Amino acid sequence: MKLLLSIVLLVFFHHAQAMPRLIPDAPAVDARGYVLLDFHSGHTLAERNADERLEPASLTKMMTAYVVFHELGTGQISLADMVRVSKKAWRMPGSRMFIEVGTSVSVEELLKGTIIQSGNDSSVALAEHVAGSEETFAALMNEHARNLGMHGTNFVNATGLPDANHYSTARDLARLASVLIHEFPEYYAWYSVKEYTYGGITQGNRNLLLYRDNTVDGFKTGHTESAGYCLVASAKRGDMRLISVVMGTKSEGARANESQKLLNYGFRFFETHKLYDAAQPLKAIRVWKGADETVQLGLTEPLYITVPRGQYNKLKASLSVENAIVAPTHKGQNLGAVNVRLGDQVLAERPLIALEDVAEGSLWQKLFDNVRMLLQ
């Protein structure tokens, strides 16, 4: 009887191990457009109408902040700069920081008013300080958008107030969120702040997920009558970070609920792994006619892969290199490729670069290698 039970358990265990893990479709999301993106790998886990041009409303202020962060990084402005509030900034409708015309407010305070309180007045004040006018600032926004590959985006203002020529896409905004976290982690922390007080007025962050889910640590809300309720959210559980974008939902609660659905789906059914570090030697290949006989190959950036849970051990990585590498070679030179597959699906393909220089060898080395190359 014990032997029979052992055999049954063994067969069951083997069958369970062999069964493929089922990944359900993404949950239904009541939004005009949405996308769920893995921060590290860049893999899209769920999407619908992700490239449709939609009104971003105050999600626009993510780019407003990005431009200001960039100017801070280049030293053109500083957080301590005092900005005199213009009549235009003071008169802005919609959500406000409540800055007063003619007063001076620091860039740091204006950034917090824009990020936490979603101030239209603070956004315009920042735009005028950086570029002289909101119109010129919008041109800067569009230049940065083009550089980031946000091809479905055009800005005409710093606030997100409605305009027929002011639009973006869920995918573009997910890309922008990813870049903000990557390039400006010291400022990204402000997106998790739940309330901010200026001039004796305390206002709460409108991102409801900050209060509901302690793994959510940022991003931005947006709303106008024509755009509906929008939300970009980012959450980190363990070493995995996801970014969700929902645009055109029906209420403040709906944008939070639909975003939570996407984040829970991504964390529940997928996992992300770092396969290789940047500049990690992956393969040494022969160099002909060189001062050294080999050169190490690697990647310019870390390589992350997102796969359905339980499928990591089924990944297959292959390296391909040029047939004959002849010195001199230079650090950063593209000499091959690494390819990562899951079954028949290509998950990633990255160039393999030389991690070091290899100078030309001596005359004797070159003559000797000429003969060896002819023989081979």
Per DSSP bridges, beta strands 270-276 and 201-204 are unpaired
Determine whether 61 is an active site residue.
Answer: yes
Determine whether 118 is an active site residue.
Answer: yes
- The secondary structure element, H or E, covering residue 10 is helix 2-18
Task: Assess contact for 327 and 360: CB atoms under 8 A.
Answer: yes
Per the residue annotation, which of 41, 86, 118, 123 is the catalytic one? 118
DSSP E strands in the chain: the ranges are 33-38, 44-48, 82-84, 104-106, 195-198, 201-204, 216-218, 221-224, 228-237, 240-249, 270-276, 283-288, 294-298, 303-308, 315-321, 325-326, 334-342, 345-354
For residue 101, the 8-state DSSP code is T
Q: At what angle do helices 61-74 and 107-115 cross, to 10 degrees?
A: 150
Task: Assess contact for 217 and 236: CB atoms under 8 A.
Answer: yes
Task: Assess contact for 53 and 248: CB atoms under 8 A.
Answer: no
Q: How far apart are CA 17 and CA 19, in angstroms?
A: 6
* Cα angle: 207, vertex 211, 215; to 5 degrees: 95
Per DSSP bridges, beta strands 315-321 and 334-342 are antiparallel
Q: How far apart are CA 82 and CA 207, in angstroms?
A: 28
Q: How far apart are CA 335 and CA 321, in angstroms?
A: 6
**Helix count and strand count (H, E) for the chain:** 11, 18
Per the residue annotation, which of 41, 58, 95, 178 is the catalytic one? 58
Determine whether 2 is an active site residue.
Answer: no
Which residues are known to be catalytic?
58, 61, 118
